[in-house]
Chains A and B, each alone.
Chain A
Amino acid sequence: MKKILLFVILLINTTFGQIIELPSGISLSNQLEFSYDNELQRQTLENWFNLDYSYENFKTGLRYEVFQPNDINPAINRGKVNYSDISFKYLEYEIGEKKSKINTIIGNYYTTFGRGLLLKIYEDRNVRVDNNLQGIKFEVNFNNFRLKAVSGMAENSKAERKDVLRGFDAEFRGIDKLNLGFSVVSNQPYFEEIKPTTLFSGRFAYKFDVFDIYTEYGIKKNSQLEENLNENYVGKAIYSNLNFYINDFSISTEFKYYDNFSLTSYDGTINYNTPPSLTTDYSYILLNRHPFSLNPNNEVGFQISTDYLVNDENKLTVNYGRTYSLEKDSFFKKISNSTTESELLLEDVFTKFENTSNSFGLIFGFGYKMEAITNTKSLTPVCEFKYFIDEVNTIKTVVEHQQSNVLSTDEKYFDDVLTLEWMNSPDFSLSFVGEMETREPEIDKIVRNFWGFIRFGYNLFDNSEISLLAGSRQAGNICIGGVCRYEPEFSGIELKYNVRLF
């Protein structure tokens, strides 16, 4: 009942929202997600309310979170099972102008050093990642120098802030198109007798007319582990990215080598760094069925991505990537007393051809993936067809098919997904998604499972969106920017409502 009341208040808010003005400097947003699972007879309510105020160089704000109850997955709820509180608050002040300024934040904050090899403090609600630090952050820009210094504590899986993280990053942008950077990050465990773990890195980036390059090299130090291994450092990482672009053709190549390089809290439940994973993100359902999770302790690999714009209407994309585990002489294998040889963990190929004209759009895609953690090989053809009925109405059909082979048992199974969507600009979209899974557990015994749901999305005015889903959905993964969240099978209704007010 309370939840219905809450929804009604929010709906009234947007209606009145077009009439009444906010005081100058105040902005706010609210994100509500409610679901009820028929099978499990379980409801989940999640709400994030942001309120911010800015006046000239001063900013302050807070985020009030409600999880009543939260998702049952401990990796998602992070100790906030039945929770409602102000979980994020900050004061920010900036002195000076572009070339010479100091920005200070006291409270909760996010930040990244370089490309996240050493430090990546961020929030992504879609995949339920939030490792914000509570403490102090300084950023100084002085001519060609950019300096960052942070000190703070992140929440562990019991929603407690215990370990102290300190970091420093310096970047110099002085020589033509060359950038140089240096970072250091250290985690001091809550128990003082435990030695801190520290990561150091140096990086450079260079941009030229037809190519650019970025390379970062890092090492990990921990005096206790160094003594045990009789080494000067106990982890190493290299990330390199080289891009070429000539007219309508571009190629991006990346290389990674991550050996015992994760930086976590002492209890292992907070990840402070997420280096580039070199995996491809897909917007199709079945291509995300066998995702590969980044392991900054035990990976070496590469990825090549090419784009070719044949002409205004046609485009070709090809991606190829491989990831292996490390050799037995690596730090990670020595520390874990493993004598296993390097093996292929992931092979990922995806190719896509797009054709768009004034009256229709067509995409043919094909994916191949070998993934060692789930020990599967999968082949996935995809076809998407869009018909533009008129200027504001579009019908979209997506057909996806996947054949998966479990390599250890030789079992084969098939998935088929059909998506039908009607989009009416700018107001609404209505879609149906149906899935059929076909398995053959015994010879001549075929088992089929079906799922299907209808989703209605509506844009209320300029500043809010509502979506309602009803039906059942197969378990799967939501992947954004390479980070995936597993969503268990669901059968019921789901409501999402976002509003932003400036």
Chain B
Amino acid sequence: MIKKAIFILFLGFLSVFSQNQSSKAPNFELENLSGEFVELKDFLGKGPILINFWATWCKPCMEELKIYNKIYEKYKSNNLQMFAISVDNEKSMSKVLPFVRSNNYKFQVLLDSENQTARDYYVQTVPHTFLINSKGEIVYSHSGFKKGDEIQIEEHIKKLLKMK
């Protein structure tokens, strides 16, 4: 009974505090496909950062990455940066590099094989997208992918880049 009461209290706590529109994005240090380690904080202050969690076995992720590649190509000259963080585990991580190479993706692909970064961002299902401003604050997040989701993402990117 006490435990249930504690649980309800927790949920009460949840309902009092909530989404901070200027919440700090958890930092991460992950390996890229060249074997170098990339840390989020080294990229802050340069422009908006699009972070997408994906996996090779996830079909909507494939569709979304194709669209994000176009968005990245369109805005990279305006300092948009993108990290596609693969949550593929040891069973499918061998497919990541061939998949990225054969699709000619230009954005940075990072490997989160221990899923620590996915846990820090509370990612339960992929794809999951976060948009971070140059101060390192999460300004938008979205779980799943449906065609048309990219319109909202692009609007947020334009807003951060102060474009019309």
Q: A481's contact among B19, B57, B97, by CB below 8 Å, is which?
A: B57
CB distance from A310 to the nearest CB of B (A): 11
| Residue A135 CB within 8 A of the other chain | no
B43 interface hit (Cβ, 8 Å): no
- Please determine whether A307 and B114 come into contact, CB atoms closer than 8 angstroms: no
Q: Is the CB of B12 within 8 A of A122?
A: no
Indicate if the CB atoms of A248 and B14 lie closer than 8 Å: no
A408-448 Cβ-contact flags toward B at 8 Å (1 or 0): 00000000000000011110010000000000000000000
- Chain A contacts for B93, CB-based, 8 A: 115
Using Cβ atoms and an 8 Å threshold, which residues of chain B touch A207?
Answer: 34-35
Give which listed residue, B15, B102, B141, contacts A245 with CB less than 8 A. B102
Interface residue ranges of B1-54 to A (CB < 8 Å): 3-4, 6-8, 10-12, 14-26, 29, 34-35, 37, 39
Contact of A502 among B10, B29, B119, B138 (CB under 8 A): B138
Is B143 located at the chain interface by the 8 A CB criterion?
yes
Residue-wise, chain B 112-133 has the 8 Å CB interface mask toward A (1 for contact) of: 0111100111101100000000
Number of interface residues of A (CB under 8 A): 104
Does B78 reach chain A (CB closer than 8 Å)?
Answer: no
Most buried by A among B37, B143, B149: B143
Please tell me if the beta carbons of B20 and A21 are within 8 angstroms of each other in the complex: yes
Given A110-B115, A481-B88, A481-B92, A502-B148 contact (CB < 8 Å) = no
A121, chain B: closest CB distance, angstroms? 9
Give a binary string over B85-103; 1 marks a CB under 8 Å from any A CB, 0 the rest: 0001111111101110111
Q: A425 CA to B104 CA in the complex, in Å?
A: 27
Are A307 and B98 in contact (CB-based, < 8 A)? yes
A459: contacting residue among B19, B97, B124, B142, CB under 8 A = B142
B19-A308 in contact (CB<8A): no
Complex contact B7–A276 (CB within 8 A): no
Chain B residues with Cβ under 8 A from A205's Cβ? 35
Is B90 within 8 A of A275, CB to CB?
yes
Instruction: Note all chain B residues with C-beta closer than 8 A to A244.
Output: 98
How distant is the Cα of A212 from the Cα of B89 in the complex, in angstroms? 18
The CA of A66 and the CA of B89, in the complex, are separated in Å by 27
Is there contact, CB below 8 Å, between B19 and A122?
Answer: no
Q: What's the nearest-Cβ distance from chain A to residue B43, in Å?
A: 13
Q: List, in ascending order, chain A residues with CB within 8 A of B92's CB.
A: 281, 481-482
Q: How far is the CB of B111 from chain A (nearest CB, A)?
A: 11
B107 interface residue (CB < 8 Å to A): no
Query: Bound complex: CA of A501 vs CA of B20, how far in Å?
Result: 7
Which B residues lie within 8 Å of A391 (CB)?
A: 147-148, 151
Whether A283 lies near B59 (C-beta < 8 A) is yes
Interface pair B57/A281, CB less than 8 Å apart: yes
Are B98's CB and A243's CB within 8 A?
A: yes
Chain A neighbourhood of B79, CB < 8 A:
none
Q: Nearest-CB distance from A464 to chain B (Å)?
A: 9
B55 beta carbon closer than 8 Å to chain A: yes
The reply to whether the CB of A4 lies closer than 8 angstroms to some CB of chain B is no
> How distant is the Cα of A465 from the Cα of B98 in the complex, in angstroms?
32
A361 to B62, CA, bound (A): 13
Contacts of B120 in A (CB 8 A): 52
Q: In the complex, what's the smallest C-beta–C-beta distance from A484 to chain B, in angstroms?
A: 11
Cβ of B143: which chain A residues have Cβ within 8 Å of it?
459, 465, 498
Contact check, B114 vs A112: say whether CB atoms are below 8 A apart. Answer: yes
Of A18, A25, A426, most buried by chain B (CB within 10 Å of CB) is: A426
Given known A110-B115, A501-B19, contact A283–B95 (CB-CB < 8 A): no
- The answer to whether A98 and B122 have CB atoms under 8 Å apart is no
Which of A9-17, A180-188, A262-270 lies at the binding interface?
A9-17
Roughly how many angstroms separate A10 CA and B98 CA in the complex, as a whole number?
A: 42
Given contacts A24-B24, A283-B59, contact A29 B122 (CB under 8 A): yes
Bound CA–CA A229/B104 (angstroms): 52
Which of the listed residues B11, B12, B90, B125 has the most CB atoms from chain A within 10 Å of its own CB? B90
Binds B, one of A156-164, A250-258, A368-376: A250-258
**Contact in complex: A463, B95 (CB < 8 Å):** no
- Residues of chain A within 8 A of B98, CB atoms compared: 243-245, 250-252, 305, 307
B104 and A481 within 8 A (CB): no
Which residues between 127 and 158 of chain B lie within 8 Å of chain A, taking CB atoms? 138, 140-144, 146-149, 151-152
Q: Which of A461-485 contact B (CB under 8 A)?
A: 461-463, 465, 480-483
- CB pair A462 B19 closer than 8 Å: yes
Give A384-408 as 1s and 0s: 1 = Cβ < 8 Å from B's Cβ atoms.
0010100111100000000000000
Any chain B CB within 8 A of the CB of A106?
no
Residue numbers in A under 8 Å from B114 (CB-CB): 110-112, 122
How far, in angstroms, from A49 to B120 measured CA to CA in the complex?
Answer: 13
CB pair A426–B14 under 8 Å, yes or no, is: no
> Which residues on the A side are within 8 Å of B152 (C-beta)?
425-426
**Which residues of A lie under 8 Å from residue B26 when comparing CB positions?**
27, 54
With known contacts A98-B29, A250-B102, A502-B24, A277–B142 Cβ distance under 8 A: no
* Given A64-B7, A98-B29, A112 and B12 contact (CB-CB distance below 8 Å): no
Contacts of B147 in A (CB 8 A): 386, 388, 391-392, 394, 423, 425
Which residue of the partner chain A has the closest CB to B98? A250
A278 to B94, CA, bound (A): 10
Contacts of B11 in A (CB 8 A): 6, 9-10, 13, 30, 49
Please tell me if A42 contacts chain B, counting CB pairs below 8 Å. no
- Given contacts A214-B94, A279-B91, A388-B147, whether A49 and B20 have CB atoms under 8 Å apart is no
Closest CB of chain A to B71's CB: distance in Å?
14
Q: Among B8, B23, B39, B121, find the residue whose CB has the most chain A CB atoms closer than 10 A.
A: B23
Q: Can you show 6 pairs from A to B with CB atoms below 8 A apart?
A: A22-B17, A112-B114, A125-B124, A245-B97, A245-B102, A424-B146
Extra pairs beyond A18-B19, A30-B14, A309-B104 (6, CB < 8 Å): A18-B18, A126-B125, A205-B35, A307-B99, A356-B63, A500-B122
Question: Which 4 residue pairs across A and B have the least CB separation, nearest first?
Answer: A425-B148, A17-B18, A250-B98, A392-B148
